[in-house]
Amino acid sequence: MALDLQKLCQNADYLYGMRVLAGEDGMNTVVQWVHTIEEIEVGNFLHGGELIFTTGIASNGKEWLLPFVKKIEEKQAAGLVVNVGPYIDQVPCEVLEYANDRKFPVLEVPWKTRLVDITRDFCNQIIREEQKEEQVADAFRNLLHSSHMDENQICIIEKYGFRREAQYCVVAVRLIEREDDSARSKLYHIIQENIEILAGQLSYFQEKEQIYMICIGCDSNRIEFVIENVVQMCHNKGIDLYVGIGPNVDTIYLLKRSYDRAIRVMTLSQNTDHKYLVYDKLDSRKILICVEETMILQEYYKATLGMLEDYDKEHDTNYIQLLKRYITSDGSIQRIAEEENLHRNTVNYQLNKIKKIIENEIGTFDDKFRLMLAFRIKEISQ
């Protein structure tokens, strides 16, 4: 839904005489705002996503223009519009070559065009698009938090071109915040960069440390491909996050199902240290994720491993991890002893201690299944 440079400028050629000089491959860049800059130092104050206008009135000659373009491109501006006239009669070839190489849009408007008119037009378009995005996001949020399918919210969503009988997939993202609070804005920018690949529609909203993306009319494989891109790009920028991709449902009336499962898959990805997981590709944990009465799962875990967890907290031990190793090692005491550099007798002693604490056996297939089920429940729990 975001407003990219191509869409923003679609009527600017005949309204303002605007034309693209270079970097046409970057015209899908999302524009966050419009800003006029005449001095290169001011570029340090950009947030990213701004469309920059300049006349060159504060500079002599045109030699400053290439360093200027490099600076604003480094700051992730959306593009540059040059008001050609008495201060810049034409954009130098080296600037255009650099812009094409970097896929950085450089455009021009004639001197007769009043910048106040075009910048006001562009700002109004951006504001209208933001208002539309906010209304849609609020409608989706209200719909997901409602106890029933609120027809008023669905009508708002339909008003902006989202069909009821389309495919809907919720992607839940948990951002691990650090002292640098710019991580969230960087994440949004990365998401915007990948929207076109989805070949569908997208809405998203934020709640606390979570971001929820709603993909409409998108292929499941394409959604996973985009999320893999987003995760990798975030990793490259030092942004930590965990992602859960819910099922792709065939109607808006099943949207909450995708939402609930995406949240649990996101929790599972964090608890198992996977950057992202896909509901449709899960193993037996998919069954547990579908259990709507979560109290049953919590009671089962508490009855099975609750006493051992309490014992570990009280005595500063780690028996619960040893028991999990025992289960995942198929009961091989020798393997645990070798991996932990312990004597077999020490492992046996600790396992016997565990049996006394949980007041149950751990050796048979049924014992291991019961315990593994409890560990699986823990993985999908907040």
- What pLDDT digit, counting tens, does each position of 273-318 carry? 899 999 999 988 999 999 988 899 999 999 999 999 999 999 999 9
Cα–Cα distance for residue pair 104/27, rounded to 1 Å: 8
CA 190 to chain centre: 8
Under 8 Å between Cβ of 186 and 168: no
Residue 263 half-sphere exposure toward CB, CA atoms < 13 A: 13
- At residue 207, the pLDDT reads 87
Share of the chain above pLDDT 90, in %: 70
Share the mean pLDDT of the chain: 91
| Run of H or E including 206 | strand 201-207
Listing from the earlier edge strand, what are the strands of the sheet with 106-110? 19-22, 106-110, 79-84, 50-54, 33-36
Quick one: tokens of 103?
A: 């896929």
Under 8 Å between Cβ of 94 and 66: yes
pLDDT-based confidence at residue 180 (cuts at 50, 70, 90): low
**DSSP letter assigned to residue 31:** P
Mean pLDDT computed over 262-268: 95
Nearest to 109 by CA among 51, 67, 178: 51
- At residue 339, the pLDDT reads 85
Under 8 Å between Cβ of 183 and 175: yes
- Whether residue 179 is predicted with pLDDT greater than 70 in this model: the reply is no
- Whether residue 367 is predicted with pLDDT greater than 60 in this model: the reply is yes
Mean pLDDT computed over 256-263: 95
Residue 334 half-sphere exposure toward CB, CA atoms < 13 A: 0
- At residue 18, the pLDDT reads 96
pLDDT-based confidence at residue 1 (cuts at 50, 70, 90): low
Give the phi and the psi of residue 54 in degrees, each rounded to 5.
-150, 150
Quick one: tokens of 287?
A: 């069954």
pLDDT-based confidence at residue 181 (cuts at 50, 70, 90): low
- At residue 164, the pLDDT reads 92
Among the ranges given (28-32, 42-46, 231-235, 251-255), the one the predictor scored with the smallest mean pLDDT: 42-46
pLDDT-based confidence at residue 107 (cuts at 50, 70, 90): very high
- Whether residue 168 is predicted with pLDDT greater than 70 in this model: the reply is yes
- At residue 35, the pLDDT reads 93
pLDDT-based confidence at residue 23 (cuts at 50, 70, 90): very high
Q: Maximum Cα–Cα distance for the chain, whole Å? A: 89
- At residue 316, the pLDDT reads 94
pLDDT-based confidence at residue 6 (cuts at 50, 70, 90): very high
- At residue 178, the pLDDT reads 60
Cα–Cα distance for residue pair 190/172, rounded to 1 Å: 15
- At residue 189, the pLDDT reads 77
- At residue 381, the pLDDT reads 86
Mean pLDDT computed over 164-169: 94
